[in-house]
Structure 1
Amino acid sequence: MGQQVQVPSDVDGVRVIVCVGDFDQDTLEPLTAACTAATDDSGVRRIVLDVAQVDFADSTMLNLMLVLLRTRRLVLAGPLPHRLERLLHLTQALDLFEVADSVDAARAL
């Protein structure tokens, strides 16, 4: 399966980036571009990464998520897909991320 990245309009300094599909070193560019645009925008205080529809993620996506943690407040909106949750557990990175059950819950944090 391919991937899709959508960026709805910002609300109150929160930028939502919706991720759908597979994210690996060959397909990460649209997500990287969306994340770079968010971090370059001084009006964005929080990034909500909607990962509920991620079918596959490898270490390149994890690395991007870790970079985002250093630049802005990052919230993962789920529920976390099994494969992504497994990656976060295996790398012992899950505790680094704030996780919300939905985009609306992530916006409210």
Structure 2
Amino acid sequence: MALNFGQLAFFSEAKQRLKDTSLSPNVQTFGASAIAGFFASFFSLPFDFTKTRLQKQTRLSNGELPYKGMLDCFAKVARKEGILSFYRGFGTYYAGLHLM
């Protein structure tokens, strides 16, 4: 949902704003696509990061899992590692989304 929001909403807006520039139609479309890819990555990467962290968690010495769910994982990571940790690997994620 976050990925689609970033792509659809920002592509349309960027395309509209680039329409009245001196750029060629192909460059306008490419630019709008790059902008939409950036925002799609920005909105979806924290969800992907949290999902991956939940999938890779291993049991602690007492047998419990470190995270109880999506919100718990998000809160613990934000508190311990900082909010910017959700954007680790942003460039690679953006390039993967945009170039595929």
After TM superposition, the score normalised by the length of structure 1 is 0.21
Task: Identify the structure with the greater helix proportion.
Answer: 2
User: Which of the pair has more CA radius of gyration?
Assistant: 2
